């Protein structure tokens, strides 16, 4: 049985009290209220999620004019489409007449978007092309009634959207990681696999889990065998330092060992988090596979395996793990107070041939397996924090440092809404 616990006696005063109390406990996990409150959830969507930069898709997924994909966040739907001139546009999937959705299939190719209710027709760029029988309404201005546009940018083949028209410049922030991310030539890469995992838990529990590796040694045995991130720096740093010292020489990529972090409260602008570092793999592991052995041709311009993996963050909810031979992107999106979509995207070289150069089951095994393990522990976490007897404890000072940055940003953002 799936148990849903919500805060039934909610109010702005209660939210203010809970926030003030939580802010008096820095370094501690947050009160169950923040996972159970519908009032909090709506404020998260309006002031945090929809004002942040979110990964939408890879350019290879909509290669032709008319190709589109839908992106669902909360109760909202967003269309990301390639126009006839090759540009990529994002718009709300809401007819400007009476609000019906103009597109239902999650992906496809269209010449126009037609509202099924009253037949209004929109172009691939969202412009209103036709509105039935409105010739008798001379004051109707079609130029002002297109689908509402959404900020949309592309960086090295990755497309990001932001529903805030006044959002800061993500591209300027991402330029700080151009060298190390450029090594993988993602603009010419292809999506080898893509899977969405619907988790019956509040979205913060899913993203909090990703932001710490305190659980890795106990919950992810396959991952932990090869990745140094599961250990304290006092143990892993010699391995990492040895890898970093020769990373650029072995891979042939200048800047491969770049470490840059401006996330959450330190981001250049709201929701424009950018981070990269390279951490080590233990001896015998070249990549993220079941046995540590290579899975696919080397990405982009990388010359050889250096015993490392690139760790990236782009926006508050999108992350990448980039091995020399493949990349894995994680995206976390709230669907409701108690549901989260965790999407994984696996990238390989654009000219790699499935079945010849890589086996998709072997390629996806580690992170599919790890995500199923994550779902197990997130669900148990969800049940625990919804208990009336849960009392939050202190974060680990090293393992959960990034998680604390997320929580500090989250609480500060909620505070500003009051």
Q: Is residue 320 part of a domain?
A: yes
Mean pLDDT of 386-403: 94
Which of 154, 188, 219 is the endpoint of a domain?
154
Q: Is residue 18 part of a domain?
A: no
Q: Is residue 41 part of a domain?
A: no
Judgement on whether residues 357 and 283 belong to the same structural domain of the protein: yes
Q: What pLDDT band is residue 387 in, cutting at 50, 70 and 90?
A: confident
Question: How far is 129 from 112, CA to CA, in rounded Å?
Answer: 9
State the total domains in the chain: 2
Q: Is residue 408 part of a domain?
A: yes
Instruction: Give the position of tokens 């690139």.
Output: 310
Q: In a 3-state reduction of DSSP, which class is residue 97?
A: coil
Q: Do 101 and 95 contact (CB within 8 A), yes or no?
A: yes
Judgement on whether residues 174 and 150 belong to the same structural domain of the protein: no
Judgement on whether residues 368 and 234 belong to the same structural domain of the protein: yes
pLDDT, position 3: 54
Name which of 371, 361, 369, 345 is nearest 190 in CA terms. 345
Q: Is residue 178 part of a domain?
A: yes
pLDDT, position 245: 97
Judgement on whether residues 307 and 223 belong to the same structural domain of the protein: yes
Judgement on whether residues 272 and 386 belong to the same structural domain of the protein: yes
Judgement on whether residues 137 and 69 belong to the same structural domain of the protein: yes
Q: Packing angle between helix 38-47 and helix 401-416, nearest 10 degrees?
A: 90
- H helices of 294-393, in order, are 360-385
Judgement on whether residues 75 and 200 belong to the same structural domain of the protein: no
Which of 154, 188, 217 is the endpoint of a domain?
154
Helix (H) or strand (E) holding 341, with range, is strand 339-348
Judgement on whether residues 77 and 195 belong to the same structural domain of the protein: no
Decide which of 4 and 302 is more confident.
302
Mean pLDDT of 370-378: 98
Mean pLDDT of 19-43: 96
In which domain, by residue range, is 78 found? 60-154
Judgement on whether residues 105 and 204 belong to the same structural domain of the protein: no
Q: Is residue 216 part of a domain?
A: yes
Instruction: Give the position of tokens 């010419």.
Output: 188
CATH for 306 = 3.90.380.10
pLDDT, position 388: 83
Mean per-residue pLDDT over the chain, rounded: 96
Q: What is the pLDDT of residues 261-285, one digit of tens each?
A: 999 999 999 999 999 999 999 999 9
Judgement on whether residues 254 and 226 belong to the same structural domain of the protein: yes
Q: Is residue 7 part of a domain?
A: no
Helix (H) or strand (E) holding 42, with range, is helix 38-47
Q: Is residue 43 part of a domain?
A: no
For residue 152 the two structure tokens come to 């949309």
Q: What is the pLDDT of residues 297-332, one digit of tens each?
A: 999 999 999 999 999 999 999 999 999 999 999 999
Name which of 220, 324, 333 is nearest 281 in CA terms. 324
């Amino acid at each position: 049985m799936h148990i849903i616990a919500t805060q039934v006696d909610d109010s702005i005063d209660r939210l203010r009290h809970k926030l003030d109390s939580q802010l008096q406990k820095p370094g501690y996990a947050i009160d169950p209220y923040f996972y159970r409150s519908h009032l909090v959830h709506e404020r998260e969507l309006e002031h945090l999620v929809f004002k942040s930069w979110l990964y939408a898709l890879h350019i290879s997924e909509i290669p032709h004019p008319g190709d589109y994909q839908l992106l669902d966040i909360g109760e909202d739907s967003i269309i990301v489409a390639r126009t006839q001139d090759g540009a990529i546009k994002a718009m709300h999937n809401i007819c400007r007449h009476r609000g019906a959705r103009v597109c239902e299939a999650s992906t496809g190719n269209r010449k126009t978007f037609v509202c099924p209710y009253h037949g209004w027709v929109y172009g691939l760029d969202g412009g209103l092309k036709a509105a039935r029988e409105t010739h008798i309404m001379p004051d109707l201005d079609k130029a002002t009634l297109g689908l509402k546009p959404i900020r949309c940018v592309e960086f090295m083949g990755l497309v990001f959207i932001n529903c805030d028209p006044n959002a800061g410049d993500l591209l300027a922030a991402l330029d700080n990681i151009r060298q190390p991310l450029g090594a993988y030539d993602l603009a010419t890469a292809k999506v080898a696999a893509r899977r969405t995992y619907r988790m019956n838990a509040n979205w913060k529990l899913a993203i909090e889990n990703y932001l710490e590796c305190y659980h890795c040694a106990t919950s992810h045995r396959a991952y932990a065998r090869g990745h140094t991130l599961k250990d304290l720096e006092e143990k892993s740093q010699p391995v990492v330092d040895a890898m970093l010292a020769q990373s650029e020489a072995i891979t042939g990529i200048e800047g491969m060992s770049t470490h840059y972090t401006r996330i959450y409260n330190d981001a250049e602008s709201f929701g424009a988090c950018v981070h990269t570092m390279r951490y080590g793999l233990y001896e015998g592991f070249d990549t993220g596979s079941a046995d540590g052995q290579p899975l696919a041709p080397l990405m982009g311009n990388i010359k050889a395996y250096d015993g490392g993996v690139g760790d990236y963050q782009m926006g508050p909810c999108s992350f990448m793990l980039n091995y020399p031979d493949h990349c894995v992107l994680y995206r976390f999106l709230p669907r409701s107070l108690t549901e989260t979509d965790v999407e994984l995207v696996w990238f390989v070289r654009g000219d790699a041939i499935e079945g010849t150069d890589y086996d998709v089951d072997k390629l996806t095994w580690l992170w599919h397996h790890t995500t199923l393990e994550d779902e197990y522990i997130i669900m148990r976490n969800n049940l625990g924090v919804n208990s009336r007897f849960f009392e939050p404890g202190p974060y680990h000072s090293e393992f959960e440092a990034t998680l604390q940055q997320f929580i500090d940003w989250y609480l500060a953002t909620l505070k500003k809404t009051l």
